[in-house]
């Protein structure tokens, strides 16, 4: 029995019949599954390794069996597979959506293979055109340097950089000659690039499409050539780019890499859009433990299963047990969200931080007493008396992305002024869309507040203390 199978057996004993709402159960389960983040997987056979990867992938090209054959051949040669994952530093933040293929890279690393994490300092100047409806404004060297500053730190919870390479594609792309690039482009059919629906739509609409964007995938493919990649990972939106990598490797007389694509994770709002910073439905890898835990506790129930599948080390067998228990009523969705939130928080900040975030969340929302909560942001009533409520929420507190988002919370009865007395009793007053455009002092004084009560502003699941 493999080390992973032994861990699953222990976890299944906890999941089968235990009270998933009990702190003791959550702690035991989290300790077991969190340990898998560093579990040695080298005892898995090539077929088991390929199956573990395929189980979390959308595409394995050409096939999982070919991946297993590649692993077997590498073992016979006494070498590790070279596993590539690349990201362009077009933004300073990495979020959980980006982590899905990185988690697979971590599994390859623990299976004994060599991960090469490529930062696209050159390709970022072109900008990946995947899914874009217009051309991307060019980035300067200063923009790229600023975005790069926190990248390695943000992904370190997933990748052991003492055993992996961090490379910049400027190392080789800055040395590519024009004749060399033309020779490759001459052997790439235009039809291959025009398979892209986003390109066809932009051209049909008369929108901009630069030649640089048109050849982006060819330039990106030179990364695979430079490191002689055996495997490349990316989101499913990168499929056509990754297929170009296989083509260019063939042109350069290399064995084409195995391409593995992963799902695009749905945003925390659960409305069908992918996780995106621009939509505000994301969880940043650099977020605090309390913020990560709270955001995951707020997801709709239908996201529990895909989030467990893509963001944790749980197996299909374990996920099937817990989803069946939700369906038959022996486990409440909120209890399972506590487990999920703890898993992700522990991954990014460690077990102790996850336990503290769980306790903090319980203090805020389960016991409904805010007085003993330590980490609430505090707003001075005197300093912000004339600040509009919407501005306070989205610009000062950062609890929403815009005034429109604040109004939506109000429409859903999630915007409230709470007065809490010394014994923990609360008086909750709903705030309306109209209140969003009122000054904070006006909002605070419109209702009778019990003498000596402490005031709190609740925006969905976020809470701020209002102080004199």
Domain locations along the chain: 1-35+268-367, 40-262, 378-467
Structure letter (DSSP) for residue 396: I
CA within 13 Å, CB half, 241: 29
Give residue 133's pLDDT: 45
Fold of 378-467: 3.10.290
Give CA–CA dist 328/465, Å, rounded: 40
pLDDT reported for residue 193: 74
3-state secondary structure of 134: coil
Q: Report d(CA 455, CA 466) in Å as an integer.
A: 5
CATH superfamily ID and name for 40-262: HUPs (3.40.50.620)
- Name every residue whose Cβ is closer than 8 Å to that of residue 334 and which is 6 or more positions away in sequence: 21, 297
> What pLDDT is attached to residue 232?
97
pLDDT of residue 156: 87
Residue with tokens 């963001």, as numbered in its chain:
311
If we measure between CA atoms, which residue out of 357, 70, 345 comes closest to residue 229? 70
Which is it for strands 82-87 and 231-235: parallel, antiparallel or unpaired?
parallel
Alpha helices in 83-188 (DSSP H): 96-110, 123-126, 141-148, 151-155, 170-173, 178-185
Q: What is the pLDDT of residues 173-194, one digit of tens each?
A: 999 999 999 999 999 888 787 7
State the pTM of this model.
Answer: 0.76
DSSP annotation of 214: H
User: For residue 368, what pLDDT is reported?
Assistant: 54
Tell me if domain 1-35+268-367 and domain 40-262 are identical in fold. Answer: no
Q: pLDDT digit of tens for each residue in the chain (468 aa)?
A: 899 999 999 999 999 888 888 888 889 999 999 999 999 999 999 999 999 999 999 999 999 999 999 999 999 999 999 999 998 887 777 889 889 999 999 999 999 999 999 998 888 887 666 555 455 566 777 877 777 777 878 888 888 888 899 999 999 999 999 999 999 999 988 878 777 666 667 677 666 667 777 788 899 999 999 999 999 999 998 898 899 999 999 999 999 999 999 999 999 988 888 888 777 888 988 889 999 999 999 899 999 999 999 999 999 999 999 999 999 989 899 999 999 999 999 999 999 999 999 888 887 665 556 766 667 788 888 888 899 988 989 888 888 878 888 888 888 777 888 888 776 677 778 888 888 898 888 887 876 667 777 888 888 778 888 887
b (16+ CB within 10 A) / e for 393-426: bbeebebbeebebbbbbbeeebbbbbbbeeeeeb
Chain length of the chain: 468
- Give the domain 1-35+268-367 fold: Tyrosyl-Transfer RNA Synthetase (1.10.240)
In this prediction, residue 373 carries a pLDDT of 65
pLDDT digits (tens, 9 = 90+) for 254-268: 999 999 999 999 999
Write out the E strands in 26-101.
59-61, 82-87
Q: What is the pLDDT of residue 446?
A: 72
* Environment class of 248 (CB within 10 Å of its CB; exposed 0-12, middle 13-18, buried 19+): buried
Orientation angle between helical segments 316-327 and 333-349, nearest 10 degrees: 150
């Amino acid at each position: 029995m493999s080390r992973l199978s032994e861990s699953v057996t222990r976890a299944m004993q906890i999941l089968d019949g235990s009270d998933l709402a009990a702190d003791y159960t959550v702690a035991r389960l989290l300790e077991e599954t969190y340990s898998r983040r560093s579990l040695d997987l080298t005892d898995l056979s090539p077929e088991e390794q390929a199956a573990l990867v395929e189980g979390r992938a959308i595409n394995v090209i050409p096939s999982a069996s070919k991946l297993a054959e590649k692993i077997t051949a590498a073992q016979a040669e006494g070498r590790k597979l070279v596993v590539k994952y690349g990201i362009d530093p077009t933004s300073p933040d990495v979020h959980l959506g980006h982590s899905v293929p990185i988690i697979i890279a971590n599994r390859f690393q623990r299976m004994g293979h060599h991960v090469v994490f490529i930062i696209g300092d050159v390709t970022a100047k072109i900008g990946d055109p995947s899914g874009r409806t217009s051309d991307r404004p060019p980035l300067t060297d200063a923009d790229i340097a600023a975005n790069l500053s926190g990248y390695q730190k943000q992904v370190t919870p997933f990748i052991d950089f003492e055993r992996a390479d961090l490379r910049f594609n400027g190392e080789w792309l800055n040395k590519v000659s024009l004749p060399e690039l033309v020779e490759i482009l001459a052997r790439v059919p235009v039809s291959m690039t025009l398979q892209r629906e986003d390109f066809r739509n932009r051209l049909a609409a008369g929108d901009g499409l630069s030649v640089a964007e048109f050849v982006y995938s060819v330039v990106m493919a030179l990364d695979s050539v430079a490191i002689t990649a055996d495997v490349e990972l990316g989101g499913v939106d990168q499929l056509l780019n990754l297929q170009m990598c296989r083509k260019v490797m063939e042109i350069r007389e290399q064995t084409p890499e195995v391409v593995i694509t992963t799902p695009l994770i749905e945003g925390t709002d659960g409305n069908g859009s992918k996780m995106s910073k621009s939509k505000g439905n994301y969880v940043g890898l650099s977020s605090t433990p309390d913020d990560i835990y709270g955001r995951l506790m707020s997801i709709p129930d239908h996201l529990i299963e895909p989030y467990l599948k893509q963001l944790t080390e749980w197996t299909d067998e374990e996920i099937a047990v817990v989803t069946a228990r939700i369906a038959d009523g022996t486990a409440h969705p909120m209890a399972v969200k506590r487990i999920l939130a703890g898993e992700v928080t522990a991954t990014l900040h460690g077990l102790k931080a996850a336990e503290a975030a769980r306790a903090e969340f319980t203090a805020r929302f389960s016991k409904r007493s805010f007085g003993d909560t330590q980490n609430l942001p505090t707003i001075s009533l005197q300093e912000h008396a004339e600040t509009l409520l919407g501005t306070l929420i989205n610009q000062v507190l950062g609890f929403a992305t815009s005034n429109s988002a604040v109004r939506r919370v109000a429409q859903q009865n999630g915007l409230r002024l709470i007065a809490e007395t010394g014994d923990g009793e609360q008086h909750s007053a709903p705030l309306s869309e109209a209140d969003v455009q009122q000054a904070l002092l006006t909002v605070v004084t419109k209702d009778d507040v019990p003498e000596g009560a402490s005031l709190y502003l609740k925006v969905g699941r976020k809470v701020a203390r209002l102080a004199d």
